[in-house]
Amino acid sequence: MQIDSKVVSVEQKDNIALITLNNAPVNALSKAVRQGVMTAMQAALSNDGVEAIVITSALPLFSAGADISEFSGGNLEPMLPEVLNFIESASKPVVAALNGAAFGGGLELALACHYRVSVESNKVGLPEVHLGILPGAGGTQRLPRLSDAKTALDMIVSGAPTPVTKLSGVFDKLTASVETLAADAQQVALNAIAQGPRPVSEINLSLDDDTNAVFNAYSEQVTQKSKGFFAPLKCIEAVKAAYTMPFNDGLAEEARLFMQCMETPQARAQQHFFFAERAANHVPGLDKNAQARSISKVAIIGAGTMGGGIAMNFANAGIPVVMLELKQEALDKGLALIRRNYENSAKKGKLTSEQVEQRMSLLTGVTDYDALSDVDLVIEAVFEKMSVKKEVFSALDRVCKPGAILATNTSTLDINEIAEATSRPQDVIGLHFFSPANVMKLLEIVRADKTSDEVIKTAMKLAKTIRKVGVLVGVCFGFVGNRMIEVYGREANRLMLEGATPEQVDRVIMQLGMPMGPFTMGDMAGLDIGYFVRQSRKAFIEHDPSYCVVADELVEAGRVGLKAGKGVYLYEAGSRKPIADPEVMEIAARKAKELGIEQREISDQEILERCIYPLINEGADILREGIAGRASDIDVIYVYGYGFPVFRGGPMQYADEVGLKNVLARMRHYQSSLGEYGKQWFAPSELLIELADQNKTFSSLNN
Ligand code: T1G
């Protein structure tokens, strides 16, 4: 049987037709695939010699689901639900043979078949909720019919991959490996000839009290946790329709809810973010012949909190790490902290004790630079002071082998200046981890002026190896993330001076979807961090006498945040719960009076605009200066590094949704309405003006 498709083939083996998907890289169920499957099915159904049909994949995974790049519209016939309903209504039995992962529409394709076989180590999922939508090709109606309400809700509301071994009702056979899959699938198909088609839609469900209780509990739990996130509640509604409506009505209800979600800014934001995260992997303009170097041994300079966290990333990836401290005591303390972290993970069941020992065995400690002569990469995580960094880099330059990469974890210092302390600036790069370094997914990869393309490619590849999201940025104060967070923190502090309480500011920002507000975040991180940065930047802020004066007074009074039991908020021993302290607003009132600032009632909207729009404006300047290559790279940095809500897509996507003309108008409003302060800090970026005037978006710069 021959069909005219480049991405789907069908062949006859005895009385069985084998349909194979082959749409690299992930068998996204694009229009061409859907057309190919329809054609192949029709060919198999009309061939009298065929008595059963098997659908499988030629790629490592079965299918990643619907082609997300098609969501922007176009003529998408035949739609996926139509194709899957056609498969389910086939007159001959259809078997899905899962050789690898099946996600979204890929799993829905398997659920629309009559029988299912999978490799037992496989995982499947319905991750549509991460795209701000819900399974739209029958998954919410078929999965509960093959499992139960709780399993279906867990998979669809969380979007998490699930081992097929936990889905016994869904799969008729689990096979040992890809090698045994074909034979087992064929056997299931031969048995199916006698049994005939077995449409899942013919399984009836009813909403009994126990099931209803599951739905009620789920709705309550999700309402509390979802923080304004739209899709999860719609997922629950769709699954419930499987219990309260006949199958076809349930499909119609699923389609209605799917479109409701698809039309939200949240869905646009999350689909934007899906591609933004992947686009960050691609760095345009690098020398195609530059090859990434292999990294088989790493050194970390500094065994403190950051150094230890960084080291864990490499041990977790099975890469041996040498940790250097000049004093054995500091080394012992650092290694003991790492062991404690691993043992805590083991207590939570995330690691076995063998894994703890295996990872610890990859970590060794040295006190002498000469021990670093054979490492491929060094990452320094020492005190944030230029003279200390330069000392370390000149020592590394002396002892490390040619071709070893010398990386700094600095979060604010000039990497070009650090590179000049070596004879090999082409091998110097910034690897800016976020604390806690073994947890936070973001890795800002900072290219200095002389960093070679080989070193950049090595760093980008290494990010994936240690399961980080690497984003390439340029050298400036604070690179991208910290440069933008500085204006956000400045504005929050200024608003407090003008009369907004920390609780009000934090509440407004949490309503946007951030995990915590700027004042709670500052207390957690330590107010002394910002204080020292301000001390090092006096020239930059000397023109603004109001710049974080309350925070400065708190730090000088020892109120450095959670670790001291008091910062902007008060903390009871052992508690991280912030408690408002009226004394802080008394300080603010006193400082405001000294500075001639008249305090006033400030609206939530003004707080939101003044914290977020300058952050966006700074992002526009970062783009204009070429410090970030894409607006979407800034979004990736903000979501993974600072908790910007993914259902807003990141600050630049959020600005596109608000409309750049509106952002510009509000920047100009504060520029004129906040006196000298507004003139200094609310000057709109030229890029923001240019895009707004041309009625364009930041995302138009991503292509
Ligand atoms: N559509 C389009 N492109 C996709 C894609 C998809 N579903 N999945 C991956 N890609 C691209 C990706 O952009 C990248 O492109 C390349 O493939 C490799 O991806 C009706 C509506 C499967 C776990 O949400 O989770 O079905 O950057 O780097 O790390 O109910 O891809 O190379 O140009 O991620 O090996 C639901 C999304 C869709 C799964 C593989 N499905 N994909 O991870 O590779 S909506 C999903 C993933 C749906 C139906 C609904 C992962 C992966 P480029 P990658 P990976």
Residue 313's pLDDT band, with cuts at 50, 70 and 90, is very high
Q: Which two tokens stand for residue 44?
A: 């198999």
Domain boundary, last residue among 443, 475, 507: 475
Q: Which of 525, 470, 491, 409 is nearest to 640 (CA)?
A: 470
Q: Is the CB of 69 under 6 A from ligand 1?
A: yes
Per-residue pLDDT for 458 more than 90? yes
Any domain includes 206: yes
Cα separation of 48 and 41, whole Å? 13
**Is the beta carbon of 66 within 6 A of some atom in ligand 1?**
yes
Residues 654 and 593 in one domain: no
* Ligand 1 center from residue 242 Cα (angstroms): 27
- 458, 475, 492: which is the final residue of a domain? 475
Average pLDDT value for residue range 183-209: 96
The tally of domains found in the chain comes to 4
Nearest alpha-carbon partner for 67 in 34, 91, 96, 45: 34
The reported pLDDT for the residue numbered 88 is 98
Please write the tens of the pLDDT for every residue from 597-615: 999 999 999 999 999 999 9
Strand pairing class (428-433; 442-446) = antiparallel
Phi-psi region of 219 (alpha: psi -120 to 50; beta: other; left: phi over 0): alpha
pLDDT at 74: 80
Nearest to 465 by CA among 223, 610, 682, 294: 294
- 55 touches ligand 1 (CB under 6 Å): no
Q: pLDDT confidence of 557, banded at 50, 70, 90?
A: very high
DSSP string, 45-86: HT-TT--EEEEEESSSSSB--B-GGGGG-S--PSPHHHHHHH
**What spatial distance separates the first Cα and last Cα of the chain, rounded to whole Å?**
41
Say whether both 397 and 504 belong to one domain: no
215 in a structural domain: yes
Return the CATH number at 509: 1.10.1040.50
Whether residues 686 and 670 share a domain: the answer is yes
| CA-closest residue to ligand 1 atom 22 | 64
Counting residues of the chain whose pLDDT is more than 90, the rounded percentage is: 93
* Contact yes or no for 560/527 (Cβ under 8 A): yes
Q: Are the C-beta atoms of 80 and 29 separated by less than 8 Å?
A: yes
Give all strands of the β-sheet with 123-125 in edge-to-edge order: 102-103, 123-125, 162-163
Tell me which residue has its CA closest to atom 30 in ligand 1.
Answer: 135
Per the listing, tokens 């016994």 go with 168
Buried/exposed 16-48: b ≥16 CB within 10 Å, e otherwise: bbbbbbebeebbbbbbebbbbbbbbbebbbebe
The CATH number linked to 204 is 3.90.226.10
Determine if ligand 1 sits within 6 Å of the CB of residue 81.
no
Q: Which two tokens stand for residue 319?
A: 């890469």
pLDDT at 536: 85
Tokens coding 524: 């957690």
Q: How far is CA 355 from CA 135, 339, 342, in A?
A: 36, 11, 9
Window from 146-150, 224-228, 654-658 with minimum mean pLDDT: 224-228
- Asked if residue 563 and residue 648 are part of one domain, the reply reads no
Per-residue pLDDT tens digits for 17-40 = 999 999 999 999 999 999 999 999
For ligand 1, whether the C-beta of 25 sits within 6 Å is yes
Best of 7, 21, 23, 26 for a ligand 1 pocket test (most atoms within 8 Å of beta carbon): 26
pLDDT higher than 80, residue 228 = no
Q: Environment class of residue 445 by beta-carbon count within 10 Å: exposed (0-12), middle (13-18) or buried (19+)?
A: buried
Across the range 101-120, mean pLDDT stands at 98
pLDDT at 405: 98
CATH number reported for the structural domain that contains residue 471 in this entry: 3.40.50.720
- 557 lies in the same domain as 419: no
Which amino acid would we find at residue 72?
S
Looking at residue 694, its pLDDT comes to: 97
Judge if 512 and 657 occupy the same domain.
no
Rounded Cα gap, residues 432 and 418, in angstroms: 14
**What's the CA gap between 149 and 140, in Å, rounded?**
10
Q: Is residue 292 part of a domain?
A: no
Distance CA 382, CA 561 (A): 22
Residue 378 to residue 428: CA distance in whole angstroms: 10
Measure the CA–CA gap between 28 and 318, rounded to whole angstroms: 32
Determine how many CB atoms are found less than 10 A away from the CB of residue 132.
Answer: 27
Q: Looking at the structure, tell me whether residues 227 and 354 fall in a common domain.
A: no
Q: Is residue 288 part of a domain?
A: no
Separation of CA 459 and ligand 1 centre (Å):
23
Q: Are residues 81 and 121 in the same domain?
A: yes
User: What is the residue range of 217's domain?
Assistant: 2-261
User: Can you tell me which residue has the tokens 């020292």?
Assistant: 532
Strand boundaries in 302-426, DSSP class E: 321-324, 363-366, 377-380, 405-408
Query: Residue 702 pLDDT more than 90?
Result: no
Within a domain: 285: no
- On whether both 213 and 92 belong to a single domain, the answer is yes
Interface confidence, given as ipTM, is 0.98
Asked whether residue 532 is assigned to any structural domain, the reply reads: yes
Q: How far apart are CA 608 and CA 276, in angstroms?
A: 24
SS3 21: strand
- What are the φ and ψ backbone dihedral angles of 547, each rounded to 5 degrees? -60, 100
Q: What is the pLDDT of residue 703?
A: 64
CA 278 to centroid of ligand 1, rounded, Å:
9
Say whether both 394 and 424 belong to one domain.
yes
DSSP 77-131: PSPHHHHHHHHHT-SS-EEEEESS-EETHHHHHHHHSSEEEEETT-EEE-GGGGG
Residues 141, 254: contact at Cβ < 8 Å?
yes
β-pair partners for 432: 444
pLDDT tens profile 684-694: 999 999 999 99
Nearest CA to ligand 1 atom 53: 278
Domain assignment present for 276: no
Query: Considering the domain boundaries, does residue 277 fall inside one?
Result: no
The answer on 9 and 57 residing in a single domain is yes
Residues 464 and 492 in one domain: no
Taking the CA of residue 130 as reference, the ligand 1 atom at the shortest distance is 24
| Reduced 3-state DSSP string for 165-177 | HHCCCCCCEEECC
Hey, what long-range contacts does 260-265 have (CB within 8 A, 24 or more apart)?
A: 260/234, 261/132, 261/133, 261/134, 261/230, 261/231, 261/234, 262/71, 262/132, 262/133, 262/136, 264/132, 264/230, 264/231, 265/648, 265/657
Residues forming the active site: 108, 128
Instruction: Measure Cα distances from 542 to 344, 386, 493, 680 in Å.
Output: 45, 22, 16, 12
* Rg (the chain; Cα; Å): 28
Whether residue 278 has its Cβ less than 6 Å from ligand 1? yes
What are the pLDDT digits (tens) for 619-674? 999 999 999 999 999 999 999 999 999 999 999 999 999 999 999 999 999 999 99
When pLDDT is averaged across residues 426-430 and rounded to a whole number, the result is 98
81 CA: nearest ligand 1 atom: 20
